Chains A and B, each alone.
Chain A
Amino acid sequence: MRFRTLAVVALATSVLVAGCSNGAPATNPSAGNNGAAKAGGGDITVALVTHAAPGDAFWDVVKSGAEAAGRQEGITVSYSGDPDPAKQSQLIDNAVAQKVQGIAVSMANPDGLKESIQKAIAAGVPVITVNSGLEKSREFGALTHVGQSEELAGEGAGAKFRSLGAKKLLCVIHEAGNIGLESRCSGAKKTFGQAENLQVDISNIADAQNTIKSKLLADPGIDGILTLNDGIAKAAVAAKKEARSAAKVATFDVSSDVTDAVLAGDISFAVDQQPYLQGYLPVVFFGLKVRNGNDVGGGQPVYSGPGYVTRDNAAQVKKFAAAGTR
């Protein structure tokens, strides 16, 4: 009987601990005293609250950028995220309650976050929006916006496909209902002219490969495939080979495997929204605001990209991609 209680307690504890990874702030201790931290004095803490689910490759790089900036500037960065706007609002409120000196927020669902953001600003905490929500950023009173929206990035990709001469575009969405991914595809559709979406599941890349292959077999007219994740990109390359299709593959998000594929000619280009900057810059801007009273951006957004990785610059990017910072 006692053993059973013990086992239940152990199980419950492990469930709690594992479950706490979603949304729990992970503090990064500042690198100590370096020269820049002297002016303004003391520890600065800022919060980065995103709409990412844990384990997302793109947002992982954003987090790395924020943490790196924190180390270099002597700023403590606390990171949290939740795809649900209601929960994300709570995380913003939490950060305000912890008296941080700046909150960077990604607004996938701007209206859902409006109240919390405005409360934060009213409490004297400067807010910088990152990644999504460019359109509402100024209206909500944010300092500036870092990054361009997924929609804009998608438009760039679509335009590039057109310049490559593709006629029919397939956009592969690997997480159903993800606002960012849907925006990328609708952006591509706008500039390309048309685009058909294909749903696959990121948790089963092997079957995604099968699904893309099926699509190519069913519709041989497809000559452009836009993927939104590096793992799916690899699957798309393999699928097009199996289906003996001549379609060109391009993707969002850079990784060392993607740069290898670009060098090999399997992937035509990779869209690099430079997520590292979307984490790095806000932290630096907050530091400047607190220590020097600077308002970076002058009310305008600060674009972090997109950069395009093509055969010309792939080799150089590969080094950085391998470090998880591109």
Chain B
Amino acid sequence: MTASESNESDQVPAAPLPSGASVGEVSGPAAEAPKLPDAHECIIEVQNLGKSYGSIIALRDVSTTVNAGEVTCILGDNGAGKSTLIKILAGVLESSEGVFLVDGIARRMGGPRDALALGIATVYQDLAVVPLMPIWRNFFLGSEPTRGFGPTRRLDVTAMRRITRDELLKMGIDLRDVDQPIGTMSGGERQSVAIARAVYFGARVLILDEPTAALGVKQAGVVLRYIAQARDRGLGVVFITHNPHHAYPVGDRFLILKRGRSLGESEKKDISIEQLTTLMAGGDELDALARELRRA
């Protein structure tokens, strides 16, 4: 499937999500994306994934799964290889070793559009929004619905405005004026618009790259709620963060990366928040540091 702009048909009703929420008329990835699998069914699986740049090994021997209706948290300090891993999942990079399975079939992604076609949507730290453009244009960027055909083919502006308002309302944001440039929204609001957009366009897997990194406490809480909502709607979520206190409440499994290697993958039932924090912070190293810093 090629990207959305080559679509000839518009006003194709998208496949309704299991939760019953109808996605409305749209021409875009939602119209062609594979259906959402049943809850807890495996969507993405990576086995022994590795990536090297010449003599630099960015990632080595990483394995994890992403299931429908579950949140997989990828944790690690800066430089652990998290961004390399998501780039591979998002289709931006190709892995050097290992297998990348989607729906049980090994894939080689040629670019982000291939990932989008499989229903893998990535919300980047910079959110892939255009600050000067109004919210409703940003929402449908790359997948604009149209009416008419040939030279009179035009944007369905009424639908775009209405759907944007409704979807954001579902996320808990009430905007009287969807014409406002997205750059005027707060960081948390922009995150939710980006998430709402991904959800609307029929993402099956949502990859969130450090969504809470630059946010205040309340805003971070808001974003975590959206993650939970997306999970409850049946999507698989990959949540990348370096903050275990954000990851633990919402995560179902936790993959910890350190210097490109996996320190292990644990299900929620097998690990406590304290254990998670210690693992992340470096375990023994942190004890040694605490001893060093103690007053003499």
Touch between A and B in complex, CB under 8 Å?
Answer: no
Which residues of B approach A to under 8 Å, CB–CB?
none
Which residues of A approach B to under 8 Å, CB–CB?
none
